[in-house]
């Protein structure tokens, strides 16, 4: 029996055989060729095949993990069309008389090295994408499909690291847990594991000899036990059964109120990223939608979504929620969420750059199109609008002016709309410190704890090297949350949390005591949070 320590990114118990996900051994040799035109033609054909593969993977991923998880495949399709990348491959073939596979391999290495050496974290991350598309092209050229994990039974997936593209293409029914040597607890793969509701560990130092062996993944204590002794295995089987029973008991909480024993009530809503996520909201008995990330309507397209397209999406969600509150966040693009057709410039620090409400206020035509769609859809349910990345009263007042312009246009056109509740996200220290002033301007606050934590602590939450000091429980963050709640209540408006911290059940009791009116969480966390609330005095 061997115990391997790691860091948990999602709790739970998994028991099964290990399957090490190995990269294809793409041995690429340099071969002299005379027919360079033929090699260039092979590149063209391989690129078309790779694009078709990526389209198929995108469709599969949308069904299984939604648009946000599938978006990586759109990015890879665009990168395959990058002219500089293709010109480099073609030039090497023509000037050096070499085979297509070798030209792709060298170009991929050169471009990946170039990206990796950039100062900007977003651009650094593109190094892995260049490697990914290059490896895909080489697989096609070599006649290999190489599409990751193949297993007849559900397994514990172990890998050096998992790119989002590798994770989303897996058959979820064949995955018991994720275990990686590298990675960050705030990576897309970690978030996906939480969405899939399966145990996941990072920073586990393993060797290939464990492949195929029986193991236990303990997501509570952050460890993997390989070849467990019989008594240990039996104990964990019992523990796993207890977890299954706990989940069954949680289902009995459906239909119950989110109220403490002393009668204090709190709203528990759900976060979603696409229209089809509403099914999970209803299945998990959320009281409403506390965050609908509307940017995915933009990210899934190669041009701006029309007013009608947006209207239909918002209308469908409002109708399906049947009067329950639906809080839709306006466009929050920029930083790590990029769409080429926006024409955004490269930035040294995109997380603090031209993004979210800053784009909307600078390009009001884009903003007005979304607002028109939102107000038109408002008569079909209880829609609220939430504006992200606010830092000043001036911004809020400008938003209100634009909203009034939109209302006037709709009225003149004879288009009906409802009286919509409007609020802002509190996700910057600046917004926290002037929350007393902002509270006079809006109907509610929703605290985005993910960005608020990284901006407050000056820590990039995607940087694995900083995981040991990234602390969402930091006293500064908690004090800021309390300050926001107090200032909201002084002006008679409500305050909630829509960041990942809202689902942290170790803080649920403290949040209720702070006076938070709402917690919006991943749908699968609605009932666990309800359980904590109902057990409180």
Active site residues: 188, 498
**How is the beta sheet containing 155-159 ordered, strand by strand?**
2-5, 223-226, 214-218, 13-20, 155-159, 175-180, 200-202, 7-10
Query: Do the Cβ atoms of 350 and 336 come closer than 8 Å?
Result: yes
Q: Give alpha helix (H) positions in 81-176.
A: 83-96, 100-116, 121-142, 164-168
Rounded CA-CA distance 136/139 in Å is 5
DSSP of 202-245: ES----GGGTT-EEEEETTTTEEEES--HHHHHHHHHHHHHHHH
**439 vs 174: CA distance, rounded Å:** 48
Mention every residue, 6+ apart, whose C-beta is less than 8 A from residue 48: none
CA distance 151 to 19: 8
Dihedral pair phi/psi, residue 144, rounded to 5° = -110, 140
- Asked whether the beta carbons of 369 and 391 are under 8 A apart, the reply is no
Distance CA 504, CA 525 (A): 9
**Rounded to whole angstroms, how far apart are CA atoms 420 and 195?**
30
Q: How far apart are CA 345 and CA 354, in angstroms?
A: 9
Q: 213 φ, ψ to 5°?
A: -85, 155
Length, in residues, of the chain: 537
What is the C-alpha separation between 512 and 486, in angstroms, rounded?
13
């Amino acid at each position: 029996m061997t115990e391997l320590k790691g860091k948990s990114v999602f709790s739970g118990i998994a028991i099964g055989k290990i399957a090490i996900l190995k990269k294809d051994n793409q041995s690429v040799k340099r071969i002299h060729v005379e027919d360079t035109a033929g090699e260039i033609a092979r590149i063209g054909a391989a690129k078309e095949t790779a694009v078709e593969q990526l389209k198929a993977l995108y469709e599969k991923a949308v069904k299984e993990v939604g648009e946000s998880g599938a978006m990586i495949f759109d990015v890879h399709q665009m990168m395959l069309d990058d002219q500089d990348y293709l010109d480099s491959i073609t030039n090497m073939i023509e000037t050096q008389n070499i085979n297509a596979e070798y030209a792709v391999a060298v170009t991929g290495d050169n471009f990946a090295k170039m990206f990796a050496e950039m100062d900007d974290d977003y651009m650094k991350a593109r190094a892995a994408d260049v490697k990914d598309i290059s490896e895909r092209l080489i697989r096609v050229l070599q006649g290999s499909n190489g599409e990751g994990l193949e297993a007849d039974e559900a397994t514990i997936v172990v890998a050096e690291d998992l790119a989002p593209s590798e994770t989303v293409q897996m058959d979820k029914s064949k995955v018991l847990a994720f275990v990686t040597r590298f990675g960050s607890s705030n990576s897309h793969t970690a978030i996906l594991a939480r969405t899939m509701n399966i145990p996941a560990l990072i920073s586990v130092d393993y060797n290939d000899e464990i492949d195929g062996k029986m193991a236990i993944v303990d997501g509570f204590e952050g460890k993997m036990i390989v070849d467990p002794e019989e008594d240990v295995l039996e104990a964990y089987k019992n523990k796993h059964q207890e977890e299954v029973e706990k989940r069954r008991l949680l289902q009995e909480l459906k239909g119950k109120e989110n109220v403490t024993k002393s009668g204090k009530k709190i709203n528990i809503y759900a976060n979603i990223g696409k229209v089809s996520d509403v099914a999970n909201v209803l299945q998990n008995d959320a009281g409403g939608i506390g965050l609908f990330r509307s940017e995915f309507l933009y990210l899934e397209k190669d041009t701006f979504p029309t007013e009608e397209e947006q209207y239909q999406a918002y209308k469908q969600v409002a109708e399906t929620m049947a009067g329950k509150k639906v809080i839709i966040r306006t466009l929050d693009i920029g930083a790590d969420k990029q769409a080429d057709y926006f024409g955004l410039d490269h930035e040294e620090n995109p997380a603090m750059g031209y993004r979210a409400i800053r784009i909307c206020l600078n390009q009001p035509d884009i903003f007005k199109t979304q607002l028109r769609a939102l107000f038109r859809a408002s008569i079909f349910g209880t829609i609220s609008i939430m504006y992200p990345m606010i830092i000043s009263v001036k911004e809020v007042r400008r938003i209100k002016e634009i909203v009034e312009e939109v209302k006037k246009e709709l009225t003149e056109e004879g288009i009906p709309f409802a009286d919509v509740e409007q609020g802002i996200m509190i996700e910057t220290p600046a917004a926290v410190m002037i929350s007393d002033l902002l509270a006079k301007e809006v109907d509610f606050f929703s605290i985005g704890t993910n960005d608020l934590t990284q901006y407050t602590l000056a820590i990039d939450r995607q940087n694995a090297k900083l995981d040991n000091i990234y602390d969402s429980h930091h006293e500064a963050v908690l004090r800021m949350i309390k300050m926001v709640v107090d200032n909201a209540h002084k002006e008679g408006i409500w305050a909630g949390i829509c960041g990942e911290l809202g689902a942290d059940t170790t803080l649920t009791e403290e949040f209720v005591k702070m006076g938070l009116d709402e917690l919006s969480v991943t749908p699968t966390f609605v009932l666990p949070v309800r359980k904590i609330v109902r057990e409180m005095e």
